Structure 1
Amino acid sequence: MKPKKATRSLTRRDALKLTAAGFGGAALSSTGTLVAAESAQPFGAEFPMLDSLATGEWWAKAPAAGPRRQNPQAQARATQPPPMDVQRKDVVAFAIYTHQNGVLKMTAQLYPLKPDEPREARLEVKGEDGKWQEIARSPVLYPGWSAHIRVEKWDATKNVPYRVRHGKEAAFEGLIRRDPVDKDEIVIANMSCNSSRTAGLRPEIIENLKLQDPDVLFFAGDQTYRHTEHTAGWIEFGLQFRDIMKDRPTICTPDDHDVGHPNLWGENGRLSTLKGNADGGYMFPVEYVNQVQRQQSWSLPDPVDPTPVERGITVYYTRLIVGGVDFAILEDRKFKSGPAGKIPQMGPRPDHINDPSYDPKTIDLPGLQLLGERQEKFLRDWTQDWTGCEMKAVLSQTAFCGAVHMHGKRDERLLADLDCNGWPQTPRNRTLEEIRRAWAVHLCGDQHLAVTVKHGIAEFGDGPYAFTSPALVNTIYGRWWHPLDEQPGPNPVPGSPLPWTGDFKDGLGNRISMMAYANPPDISDEKQRADGYGLVRFQKSKRKIIFECWPRFSDAKQGNKAQFPGWPITVDMDQNDGRKVQGYLPELLFEDAKDPVVQVIAEMSGEVLYTVRARGNRFQPRVYAPGKYTVKVGAYKPDKQSLAGLEAKEQTAAGSRTVKLF
């Protein structure tokens, strides 16, 4: 029996919004009704394998067997995704949400629905009287089976129990947390790379995270490696992590494997036709890419600029403020140039370099993109807007350096990997300069190897700190930090238990100072693969950031001794600008404001050195060269008062200036 077409009455305006947002599989009828065209092959006859377990007569299909393995114990662990046909009371698989500026956005992920079931999800909240009240409804979209709920005028000062309902009996419950603005320490969990070759739940991670109770979750990418079966893989991921996602804001950003790629250079949305995709672009249909993105990222705050890239692929880069910490959420794959055809091939594939005689400068060509002009502008504007926040951090999929020596196997050395964001080098440096201007840190995943580094731009240590989380489950691809001479670099970390810290250049010529790394002792042993996750603590009153790195099978009750050797690492917020201080401007005394925003501009070049929120009613601006400077101040942006012609002095006793903002 073929599934029936299901309709959901909407206004024409609402339906047009859904179509513009990239909700594939939807058609607008002449009467303004959204028609879910539930075809057996929604991405066309050319791609019958895409989402096949959740399309067509999905209830008659069984998952294909996973790859066979030599190890019987490993083979016994099913690598199949969970069954899609569940009891109908369990059809709401999970939900993720964020809220900001009075807008709640929630994505409810449902299991595939049967032909006679309603294509609608409902959001209910529990009032102070203990009664449930429905506040919103949303169509369940096909393909993908996700429902997207938006609630305006959301009160973020209260914890609100919620449940997503479908039909008469299905429900999924959680808690929409209030914004913890009164907490001094805001904690984000940093996670990525959730191998689908190890199926089943993740109780050891969930129990630790429940105990550590982060305020927000960040899944940087590769939530699933099911490649052509995103809905099944996404539901699998949701089952594994829903017990922590249901009760706190969750940031999910898809990476290459989520959209079915081995690697991804988005090239502004063009079509990729080369095996391995190093030519740049996306190889699967736009509708599939947009489905993945809406399932994972629609619940983020609205995009800063929602204009799609080429061929109608949607974007999601944005910002989220939680408890006074402002997170810039980037798409560091979507606009990036692909290497094939642009630079000479110097390895077994276009994106791998193994020629030790090559000059990194020869591949840093004019016109190559990393974040793209749109995201660079967003980042520049974000550094100067401190509305509602005291500290800042940048989130993206992968690292702005190649902090890896061994790839795949313990003895397979690779000089440079162009999949990392250490290439192209010039836009990499521009990005780090912007992050530095806000004294922000960078958090990411993707590399399968946990590292904390301090970036160098013009000199070692002059850039921001960055933390790459370990793979949650690392059965896909091992990586190691292992200098060829097996020696520490200059300026090693004093007292570190790790032998190879200090200043190094990666294979792309980028300067990095290695603070800590978590090499896997044995990639074939589940307990020695260096699986795990990161926690980052933002201490607002002290203006400090603490990086923590937790093994998957650790016991958080044991405290810091359970972390990977080399962590925790504590840094001051202002250390994210590591340029050498050459002088100071007069101390600013604020009569009528506390914690103002201060911006320092070099008058000769017009360069903004930094824009930061001060602590208290005093601030001593530092500068990095002699000359004259303009200082701008304000409550949220540097727009209330401007002091020009300030001269740098070598000592901190450079006088003082009284400033009134109001």
Structure 2
Amino acid sequence: MNPLFPALMASAFILSASGELMPTSAEVFGGKYASLDNRATSDWWTRQGPQRKNRKAMINLDVPRDKVIGFAIYTLEGSSLKMTAQLFPLKPDESQEIRLELKKGDTWKEIAKQKIIYPGWSAHFRINNWDGTKDHAYRLRHAEKATFEGKIRREPADKETIVVGNLSCNSSRTTGPRPLILKNLIAQDPDVLFFAGDQTYHHTQHTSGWLEFGMQFRDIMRDRPTITIPDDHDIGQANLWGESGIQATNAAGPSGGYFYAPEYVNMVQRQQTWHLPDPVDPKPIKRNIGVYFTDLTYAGISFAILEDRKFKTGPEGTIPKMGPRPDHINDPKYDRKSVDVKGLKLLGDRQLKFLNNWSQDWTGAEQKVVLSQTAFCGAVHIHGSPTNRLLADLDSNAWPQTGRNNALREIRRANATHLCGDQHLAVSVRHGIDAFDDGPYAFTSPALVNTIYGRWWHPADAKAGPNPVPNSPLPWTGNYLDGLGNKITMLAYANPINRSNEKQRSDGYGLARFNKRSGQVTFECYKRFTDITKDKDCQFAGWPLTFNFNDNDGRKATGHLEYNVDFQHPVVQIINERTDEILYTKRVKKSKGKLPVYSTDPHTIKIGKDKPVRVFKTGLTAKK
């Protein structure tokens, strides 16, 4: 195997069938963390036991030996296929190798084999020169009897509408299958799946939780590209402000940094993200914790995959405590500007640079989409219980406000749509940066299983904001300031009705449809306990929502600049010559037309087939 991410492989072992026990958790993660992932380390089979009917019940990892391959996940970009095979823990006398086969006619042919990595029991395949124009049946094999089959789909480059599943927050308190979600997704047949984080809540037993998640969703993941990114609960924390990898003081996280061993964090990231395209800037952060932020272009959609939390500053000791927790503010006298302290980080300089570069490269892309763990706003009023109203929650990307606005400006430069999870409350908003509605559209998925922490959108005055959504079935839409003063337009939300009733908790998932011909984007939000093949009213009230991807830049034009080139579908870029700011870079349909600008300053137009490599004209001023 080619270990692409050196940090993620730190303290990992390439297994060999020696008959000896693998190292204990204490030996792998350090004596302070002797119980980390210990249901899957060393003599793991002695720590399974019967299932317990409580919130910490976990799947039995001691499966029949012909079932040791749990699941596989993959991505495909151009001619590069990357796949992770996730196994159940192995015993000392078992083969430590896994094989990948493709079906040729009626015959299976081995094309690669890899050693299994410990801790975590994952194996990783990179296949170059992949033919993405055809479907390929694949089979993973371990020893003589264990197999797992799936399909690498042809890249649907010619498909007009690309469908992305938007999923997050898979509570481990509800064990077992997710039958209706799976049935509906198989019927809807999305082209790409995006799991935004909190795939498991078994904080310190990630291999158990990851296998549980994989068994729940493997029948939809086995035959389509799947993007998974870990969030706070996946790496064992209640919340995460990564602060470039410093040591957190506790697992609640507000001091900033990571609490558990870096080797554990890297194991989680390897299991969940190795199959993504290589990181664009792979330098590890402090304590040799790896990074994975990257981009993926597939079927005409370019995805930027972010790590919201990795560089973000923690609130404890950074701002005064103004509520029951360092990250919760409920003091009505607090000054919103006082918490936007100079120097605080959100995405961090490296990811902002990545977004800026990504926005200018449209190779193979018709539209752009940003994927991240959480939302760039605080679209929540009530947290945890129906009586717990907060003014602001610093766990979301609403804080720090300057970092939030800097991130949204980069997203807007690409005319990109934003998909995320984390909040346990489905919402669709349009962001405002300097003015309402001048920023991108965003869709926060509902929790797949919402037993952990309920949230509600419920303005204190119970009134709609200015410019409410016409004819909406929801009472509280329109323009609002969130608790940190950020401008948002609420378009739709799915409040829990009764959290003691699983069918009224607002569990569910989202779909986003990207029409490459028209530029139309549609958000759909589905209830968990409906059957789309039979039931009516399967979506939450307020959805579906439709807009054009060009509306992800909502600034009011003061005039337009004309362009005219000799090829179709050019990439165009506008630069303000006075400020040197790139206003936007996007692909347009026509070889000639008008481009909006937002001042009377002189501007430069650059053009190209995939990147804006050629200056078209300089010194242009807007025509009204």
Counterpart selection for 1:45 from 25, 31, 35? 31
Report the CA distance between 1:476 and its aligned residue.
0.3
CA distance in 2, matches of 1:330, 1:472: 21
- Asked whether 1:194 is paired with 2:170, we answer yes
Q: Say which SS state the counterpart of residue 584 (structure 1) adopts.
A: strand
Report the CA distance between 1:641 and its aligned residue.
3.6
CA distance in 2, matches of 1:318, 1:131: 36
Tell me the alpha carbon deviations over residues 624-653 of structure 1, each in whole angstroms, 9 at most, x when there is no partner: 122321100000000034211112011xxx
Counterpart selection for 2:602 from 616, 628, 652? 628
Indicate the residue corresponding to 1:240 in structure 2. Answer: 216
Q: 1:36 to 1:102 in 2, by over 3 A?
A: farther
Q: Say which SS state the counterpart of residue 621 (structure 1) adopts.
A: strand
Q: 1:239 to 1:562 in 2, by over 3 A?
A: same
- Asked whether 1:614 is paired with 2:602, we answer no
- Asked whether 1:524 is paired with 2:516, we answer no
Indicate the residue corresponding to 2:41 in structure 1. Answer: 55
Amino acid at match of 2:29: F
CA distance in 2, matches of 1:131, 1:303: 36
Indicate the residue corresponding to 1:293 in structure 2. Answer: 269
Tell me the alpha carbon deviations over residues 112-158 of structure 1, each in whole angstroms, 9 at most, x when there is no partner: 0011001111111112x221111111111111000111111111111
- Asked whether 1:88 is paired with 2:65, we answer yes
Alignment of 1:1-150 (within 5 A): 14=2, 19-26=6-13, 37-39=22-24, 41=26, 42-62=28-48, 80-127=57-104, 129-150=105-126
Indicate the residue corresponding to 1:337 in structure 2. Answer: 313
CA distance in 1, matches of 2:41, 2:127: 29
Q: Say which SS state the counterpart of residue 191 (structure 1) adopts.
A: strand
Indicate the residue corresponding to 1:553 in structure 2. Answer: 529
Q: 1:604 to 1:235 in 2, by over 3 A?
A: same
Tell me the alpha carbon deviations over residues 220-268 of structure 1, each in whole angstroms, 9 at most, x when there is no partner: 0000000011000000000000000000000000000000000000000
Q: Say which SS state the counterpart of residue 255 (structure 1) adopts.
A: coil
Report the CA distance between 1:178 and its aligned residue.
1.3
Q: Is the 8 A contact 2:522 2:547 kept in 1?
A: yes
Amino acid at match of 2:594: Q
Report the CA distance between 1:66 and its aligned residue.
5.4
Counterpart selection for 2:294 from 285, 309, 318? 318
Q: Is the 8 A contact 2:247 2:256 kept in 1?
A: yes
Amino acid at match of 2:61: M
Indicate the residue corresponding to 1:73 in structure 2. Answer: none
CA distance in 2, matches of 1:640, 1:28: 52
Q: 1:559 to 1:528 in 2, by over 3 A?
A: closer
Counterpart selection for 2:229 from 234, 250, 253? 253
Q: 1:635 to 1:629 in 2, by over 3 A?
A: same
CA distance in 2, matches of 1:38, 1:436: 48
Q: Is the 8 A contact 1:27 1:36 kept in 2?
A: no
Q: Is the 8 A contact 2:293 2:306 kept in 1?
A: yes
Counterpart selection for 2:399 from 398, 401, 423? 423
Q: Is the 8 A contact 1:403 1:451 kept in 2?
A: yes
CA distance in 2, matches of 1:560, 1:183: 27
Indicate the residue corresponding to 1:590 in structure 2. Answer: 565
Amino acid at match of 2:548: D
Amino acid at match of 1:38: P
- Asked whether 1:432 is paired with 2:408, we answer yes
CA distance in 2, matches of 1:448, 1:474: 6
Q: Is the 8 A contact 1:63 1:81 kept in 2?
A: no
CA distance in 2, matches of 1:314, 1:647: 46
**Greater mean alpha carbon deviation, residues 56-65 or residues 149-158:** 56-65
CA distance in 1, matches of 2:373, 2:497: 25
Q: Is the 8 A contact 2:509 2:527 kept in 1?
A: yes
Structure 1: runs of 5 or more not aligned: 1-9, 69-77, 651-662
CA distance in 1, matches of 2:56, 2:428: 32
Alignment of 1:158-173 (within 5 A): 158-173=134-149
Amino acid at match of 1:49: S
CA distance in 1, matches of 2:251, 2:261: 16
**Please, what TM-score do these two structures have when normalized by structure 1?**
0.91
Report the CA distance between 1:79 and its aligned residue.
5.2
Amino acid at match of 2:583: L
Q: Is the 8 A contact 1:64 1:80 kept in 2?
A: no
Amino acid at match of 2:258: Y
Indicate the residue corresponding to 2:150 in structure 1. Answer: 174
Amino acid at match of 1:578: G
CA distance in 1, matches of 2:331, 2:436: 25
Tell me the alpha carbon deviations over residues 363-412 of structure 1, each in whole angstroms, 9 at most, x when there is no partner: 11111000111000000000000001000000000000100000001121
Amino acid at match of 1:589: N
Amino acid at match of 2:44: W
Q: Say which SS state the counterpart of residue 192 (structure 1) adopts.
A: strand
Q: Is the 8 A contact 1:220 1:446 kept in 2?
A: yes
**Greater mean alpha carbon deviation, residues 494-503 or residues 612-621:** 612-621
Counterpart selection for 1:372 from 316, 336, 348? 348
Q: 1:526 to 1:468 in 2, by over 3 A?
A: same
CA distance in 2, matches of 1:217, 1:647: 43
Q: Say which SS state the counterpart of residue 70 (structure 2) adopts.
A: strand
- Asked whether 1:327 is paired with 2:303, we answer yes
- Asked whether 1:156 is paired with 2:142, we answer no
Counterpart selection for 1:403 from 363, 379, 386? 379
- Asked whether 1:510 is paired with 2:496, we answer no
CA distance in 1, matches of 2:284, 2:259: 17
CA distance in 1, matches of 2:573, 2:622: 15
Indicate the residue corresponding to 1:576 in structure 2. Answer: 552
Amino acid at match of 1:605: T
Q: Is the 8 A contact 1:38 1:142 kept in 2?
A: no
Amino acid at match of 2:286: E
Q: Is the 8 A contact 2:499 2:505 kept in 1?
A: yes
Q: Is the 8 A contact 1:545 1:570 kept in 2?
A: yes
Indicate the residue corresponding to 1:444 in structure 2. Answer: 420
- Asked whether 1:206 is paired with 2:200, we answer no
Q: How many residues align?
A: 621
Q: 1:64 to 1:349 in 2, by over 3 A?
A: farther
Q: Is the 8 A contact 1:464 1:577 kept in 2?
A: yes
Amino acid at match of 2:48: A
- Asked whether 1:309 is paired with 2:285, we answer yes
Q: Is the 8 A contact 1:22 1:313 kept in 2?
A: no
Q: Is the 8 A contact 1:302 1:318 kept in 2?
A: yes
Q: Is the 8 A contact 1:457 1:511 kept in 2?
A: yes
Report the CA distance between 1:292 and its aligned residue.
0.3
Q: Is the 8 A contact 1:325 1:392 kept in 2?
A: yes
**Greater mean alpha carbon deviation, residues 490-499 or residues 39-48:** 39-48
CA distance in 1, matches of 2:10, 2:148: 23
**Please, what TM-score do these two structures have when normalized by structure 2?**
0.97
Report the CA distance between 1:604 and its aligned residue.
1.2
CA distance in 2, matches of 1:18, 1:594: 39
CA distance in 1, matches of 2:263, 2:25: 15
Q: Say which SS state the counterpart of residue 170 (structure 2) adopts.
A: coil
Indicate the residue corresponding to 1:660 in structure 2. Answer: none
Q: Say which SS state the counterpart of residue 176 (structure 2) adopts.
A: coil
Structure 2: runs of 5 or more not aligned: none
